[in-house]
Structure formats: C-alpha cells, structure tokens
Amino acid sequence: MYPSEKIRLASGHEGAIEQLQAIFQHLADGVFLVRVLPGPDFVYETFNRQTERWTGLSSEAVRGRPLTDVLPEREATRVCELYRRCVETGKTQRYEEVPTALQSPMTFQTTLIPVTDADGAVVRIVGVSRDITEQKRSATALVESQEMFAKAFRRGPYAMIIVRLADGAYMDVNEAFEELFECDRASIIGSRSADDTLWPEPQRRAALIDIIRTSGAVRDFPARLSTFRGSLRDVLLSAHPIAIGGEAHLIATVRDITKTLDTERTKSALESQLRQAQKLEALGTLAGGIAHDFNNILGAMVAFIDLIRIDVNDRMAVLDHVGELKSAAQRARDLVQQILTFSRTQKPSRSVTQLDYGVRDALKLLRRSAPSNVTLESFLDEQAPQVLADPSQVHQIVMNLGTNAIHAMREHGGTLKIRVEPCLVDEELARSQPDLRPGRYARLSVTDTGHGMDEATLKRIFEPFFTTKRQGEGTGLGLAVVHGVVRDHDGAIAVMSQADRGTRVDVYVPEHLGDGPTQAAPLPLPRGRGERLLVVDDEEALCVSLTQLLTRLGYQVVSKSDPVEALQLYLQAPAEYALVLTDLTMPGMTGLELAQQILELNPSARVALMSGFSGNWTPVSVRALGLVDMMVKPLSAAALAEGVARALQEAR
C-alpha cells in the first residue's frame, strides 16, 4: 500500500467493486488480466501497480495491446504457448520465468488461472506473478554450500567420518579415512560394527562416548585405533554434533599422529643415549679422584682395624676406633651412592626438594677431581625456594658444568665458583630469556675464570657433538645434555662469556609452591619375636655381620653363602622359615632365581631381596614377582630392622 493512499470500505454493489479494485491495486504480487481472442490471441486488459513497478510500464499504455507487441519476441512466443495450453485444457498453468524486459533481473513464479463464460469457454486469463528471487538465490547458495561441504569433506587432508547418533551407523567417510584405515568406503557406509575393528581398546571408546554425552563434543582425544588390515595408528579425535535431515549426527575428524609420536620416542631415546654417553665421559674424568679417595678411605679403615687389635684391652679407645671405622665406611657408602646415582638409567623421578641437595654431592666429586691449580668456592643459600626436581639430574647438571669449567682452567688455573640462591625474575629479565616467565626461581650459577668463548662459539654451545676440545678430550655432549635436563624441569639456562674473560652459566628452576618433605621423629628399632630367618649372601663377612645383627634384634638366624646349599636347606623344612633374606647377585644362582624356586615350592613364602646395585629393579617390580620387598645395601642396623619387620608384617 502506498503511504498516501488508503482502502475505503463501502457498502452495496458499487462499494464492493471499489473495494476489490483497491485490493487488486495494492497486492504484493503482480496481477494482470489477459483477454482471449479468436486464434487464440491474447491482449492485455489491465495489471496492478506492483506489475507496473516491476515492468516500468503503465496499465493504460498496454491495455488492448497484444502480448506479442509488449513482450520481446522470444519471450512472447514462450508465454503465448503457455496461455494456449491454459485455454485448451482449461486448467491452471504454473511456470518460472526471468523476464528480460525488467529494470533489474528478477525471478518470478507465475500462475495462469483460466476464467470461463457460461458455456465453459476460456475468455480471460488471470495471471499472478510472485517474486521468488531471494528464495532462488538462497536455494542456489544452499546447493553451492552443500557442494562445498561435500568437496571439503571428501577431499579434506584429515580422515573424517559422519555417524548417526540414533543407532551408531556410519553414514559417510572421506578419502583420507579410506587411506588411513585401509578400507573401502562402500563397505563402511551403513555399518554399525566398524567400531569393533577400529577400537582395539574398547575402554577408550567408552571414555570418548562418556565425554561426548557429558560435553556434547570432544577435541583432540588421544586414542590408538586399528586399521582394517590390523595396523595400529596413534590418533587425535575431535567430534561435533550436526543435524542432517532433522536427525542428530556426529561428524568426527581423525588426525594421525603416529609418525609424530614415533619421532618423539626416537628423540627421547637418543637424548637418553646422549646423556648416558656424557655421564661416562664425566666419570672418566673423575675416575682418578674417586680412586684416590677410595684408597684414602680404605687406608683409614685398615689403620683403625689395626688400632682396635692393638688397643683391644682399652675399651674406650676401641669405641673411638669403631666410631672412626664406621665414619669411614659411611663415606665409602656415600661415594658409591653418588656414582650409582650419577650413572643410573632409570626414568627421572622428581620430588619437592631444595636445589642445593643435588649440588652438595656433586661438589664433593668436583673437589676430588679438580687439579691443584683450580680453587673451588661455593655458596649455597638455604633461603632458595623449593623446586620440583630430580636430585640426580641436578647432580648431573653441576657435574657437566663444573667439569667444563675445570677443563677451561686446567692450563693456567683459576677459580670455580658455584652458587645456589633465590632469584626473582621480573618482566625485563623474562623478555631477555625466551624460556623464562616472571616469578620466583632457585638459581644455580657456575662461574669460571678460564679462557672463555667468542661470540661464534657461544651461538653453538647447545648443539650435540659440538666441542672445542681436542680429539679424545670429550664428545661435546655436556651442554646439550644440560640444556635438555633444564628444559625437562621447566627451567631456563643463560650463558655469558667473553674470550679470555671466563664464563658464567645461570640455571633457573621455577619455585614449587606445594608442600615440602616432612621429617618424622626417630622411632625405636622394631624387634623380632623369635622368628626363624634364612640369610643368603655370597659374601661370608656379610653373612656373619647380618646374622649377629638380626640375632641381637630378637630373631633366630641361619645363614648360607652358597645359594644352592641355601635352597636345599630350605627344602628340608620350608615351614620353619618366616622370611628368606637373599642377595640379588650371587655366583651359581641369582637371588631372583632362588626366590622363584622357593615360591614355586611354597607360594605363601616370604622372600626379600638385598642389593647394592639393582639396575632397573625396584620394590614395586620385585613385589610384582611375588617377593615382599627389596632392601638397598649397605644396610645399617635401623634399615635392616625396619626392612625385616616390614616384610614379616605382611605375613602376620
């Protein structure tokens, strides 16, 4: 309706006609009236204002004119044919058209309605045209969108699948899915049993379904799937709900990360080998100092043993000598433990600790290996924050950096300074080191006054196998290993050096805000109640000492240095022994082999292992074999008492 006009309602016949004319003129659809002439031929009688607006013609200008005069020739021919069909059949005709005479391109759906006289002859045709331009444009866009989706789905770089949620049927898969899972699309579509092949671990599929039910979608869900030929693939799954034909479906993307994980595993293995090689290099450097220290310890022990024999009648002197003897033995034990810790191959185990705990033992080894012209100074601030670290790897960092520093000063001597202190990293310092974030850190600094490095060397120091040492002096693995260990601890490393001015290396380990370790008050040694124990160790002296200690703790003890004899003795009366305590490494039969034969005979037997170097064996792994515990040698009276009591407790 035009703003300046209104439809007036009137009464009577004349008013009804006016009302119909007003409605006719103000319809949103284009309406036109055509009179049928003999032939038949067709002339316009009138059309409404919407038609005038679309065509740019007035109703008065075309009244009485044939269609062939108003429309272009080709269009008039096609339209007249439709009009003739309407006349001949007497039925409504519908068609779509894009008239060429319009001011702007438009698409219409036109309906031709025949009007008959009393004899049933068609005398007029009423045409109604509706603008469907937008509907056609939307439909075209929808078709194009569907084609684009189909093309993206079929040719996408990642495997994709569409699953119907109602029954789990596979509705479609793309080419990347066929290639990844070695299958044919036709054999998958409509299948509900494909999951049985794809999921070798049904519990992972159940976990995925739980997430989708809870959250509605899932992103980067890790899983291991099987191809239809049995190969395994490590993948990340992402899935989102979609509606297709009014039904709920799930579209999932499967990203293959098998090669990525294989590369990471290979890289991890190589890094482990590099670290072990560097450890061997460092141990070779330290071997002379360690041998010298062991000789000193053994010399002291022999001297005190001789003094005990000489002063056997002087009780107080003997007690003093025994105390010194025990102190020397503890130093030897600590030295062995440092070497084993440094060279171990087990996976690092982090705990809440002070950074200086791993530094102190390394300082002892460095002092023993440093030449006389190198002075070692240390400052360990107890106020440094707690960190989450593996002490053995901290030990390794200090050994690597310290060994490099000593090597840089071996010709002219100098001073090696090692510090552990708290450090607050601000925004400015964090910007200068990409691996640093603002916050509190424990900082380990290793500074030397050696020959230093030029800028070109400084840029390559973290490259594996890059070294400035002469052949036979080192592999160049040290700083590469240190860099890897520091990054494993979420830390950062900064190196400052100038030629002939020395080098400083700062290692930053972030503060751990969790609870630290607590120390319990010492408890009285647990004692036995006359239980009978069988002790097996190929070292006669240990058999004697362990027997005497356990006897004084309230146990009945039988000891054997030959594991075969010990097994025969046990077989004679297995019910008499509450616990078998055996060394791990013995000639003729290992402790594990002895334990297995005892457990085969008596599954309820209690067997505990002792070892000074257990390799990859841990208390958890030996318990998995049926043993009750593993004790680390050398055993003090307290460790022995607690270990035996713990093993027997399980039997009670």
Same domain, 144 and 127: no
Q: Say if 523 falls within a structural domain.
A: no
Low-confidence ranges of the chain (pLDDT < 50): 1-11, 289, 292, 345-347, 465-466, 470-477, 516-521, 651-652
Domain count of the chain? 4
Same domain, 243 and 95: no
In 3D space, the residue among 558, 603, 605, 610 whose CA is nearest the CA of residue 581 turns out to be 610
Q: Say if 1 falls within a structural domain.
A: no
Q: Which of 71, 96, 131 is the last residue in one of the domains?
A: 131
Same domain, 156 and 192: yes
Q: Helix or strand or coil: residue 580? A: strand
CA pair distance 227, 181, nearest whole angstrom: 4
Same domain, 96 and 165: no
In 3D space, the residue among 473, 478, 518 whose CA is nearest the CA of residue 495 turns out to be 478
284: left (phi over 0), alpha (psi -120 to 50) or beta: alpha
CB 453 within 8 A of CB 499: yes
Same domain, 242 and 294: no
Same domain, 165 and 242: yes
Same domain, 360 and 427: yes
Q: Say if 5 falls within a structural domain.
A: no
State which residues form the domain around 342: 267-510
CA pair distance 432, 258, nearest whole angstrom: 36
- And the tokens for 385? 């924050």
In 3D space, the residue among 123, 105, 131 whose CA is nearest the CA of residue 51 turns out to be 131
CA pair distance 133, 266, nearest whole angstrom: 62
CA pair distance 563, 561, nearest whole angstrom: 6
Same domain, 207 and 335: no
Q: Say if 354 falls within a structural domain.
A: yes
* DSSP tag of 63: T
CB 398 within 8 A of CB 378: no
Q: Say if 287 falls within a structural domain.
A: yes
CA pair distance 562, 586, nearest whole angstrom: 8
- And the tokens for 380? 């360990």
Which DSSP string corresponds to 81-132?
HHHHHHHHH-S-EEEEE--TTSSS---EEEEEEEEE-TTS-EEEEEEEEEE-
Q: Which of 131, 155, 190 is the last residue in one of the domains?
A: 131
Q: Say if 2 falls within a structural domain.
A: no
CA pair distance 167, 4, nearest whole angstrom: 61
Same domain, 167 and 242: yes
CB 338 within 8 A of CB 364: yes
Same domain, 194 and 123: no
Which CATH number is 354's domain given? 3.30.565.10
Kindly tell me the sign of the dihedral angle through the C-alpha atoms of 631, 635, 639, 640. positive
Q: Say if 525 falls within a structural domain.
A: no
- And the tokens for 609? 């292992």
Which CATH number is 609's domain given? 3.40.50.2300
- And the tokens for 68? 């062939």
HSE toward the beta carbon, residue 238, CA cutoff 13 A = 7
The full length of the chain comes to 652
Which CATH number is 145's domain given? 3.30.450.20
CA pair distance 345, 272, nearest whole angstrom: 8
* DSSP tag of 65: -
pLDDT at 564: 92
Same domain, 503 and 405: yes
Same domain, 604 and 567: yes
Q: Which of 256, 276, 298 is the last residue in one of the domains?
A: 256
Question: 632: Cβ–Cβ under 8 A, 6 or more apart, which residues?
Answer: 610, 611, 612, 614, 639
Q: Say if 477 falls within a structural domain.
A: yes
- Whole-model pTM? 0.38
